[in-house]
Amino acid sequence: MRARLRTVLFDLDGTLADTAPDMAQALNLLLKEKDYQPLPFDTIRPWVSHGGLALVRLGFGEERGDVELENLRQRFLEIYAENLCRETHLFPGIPQLLAMLSKNGFNWGVVTNKPRYLTEPLVAQLTIQPPPACIVSGDTTTNRKPHPEPMLLACKQAGSDPHECLYVGDAERDIHAGKQAGMKTLVALFGYITDSEDPETWGADGMIRAPMEVFDWLKQHA
């Protein structure tokens, strides 16, 4: 397959890797530490892609002040960093997708809002093959998604122009970032999407229910 698209970029949490078990465990350990009742996994899972602040708000309530929430977020991240890759795994189908992309001349990379000190060891522990052409974390650039800056850096590191890239993510900010950068975009419906969100309104170029559908989409559109 000769493609006009050359690079596939992925969000990390909820798209490339199922990090929800470890992030949910970290939140529940923090809740226990503060004498709160743990939350069910199914309650936590949809919020994982929204980051640590959203998770501590979920656990401790919106009424807490900004300083207290930030302190809780920092403690949550400390706990999570100590338990980074206990239950985390690539979503089923991702290894096969990456192998198929490589076989057909595509490279791939990661663009995430997760900070570098968590992203890089997590990707290393997942031992993904073939390895990524680029990893852009939430603090690699001045701006984070939905700003296009990290997307454009990923393009440069992967050796592709934005119009040669496809970005796959499970959050509205992923789609906005990809579109603003000039990429094609796909919504990963298997990721962490809350009941109140409507991916149909995000303006993506398509939606997928399983990782290998990325390759099916590329065959039709690349």
Active site residues: 11, 13
Distance CA 6, CA 43 (A): 37
Q: Which residue has the tokens 């052409």?
A: 133
88, 19 contact by CB (below 8 A): yes
Distance CA 2, CA 25 (A): 44
For 129, the token pair is 């093959």
CA 213 to chain centre: 17
On the 0-12 / 13-18 / 19+ scale of CB atoms within 10 A, 136 is buried
On the 0-12 / 13-18 / 19+ scale of CB atoms within 10 A, 157 is middle
Distance CA 173, CA 80 (A): 23
Nearest by Cα to 26 from 81, 88, 69? 81
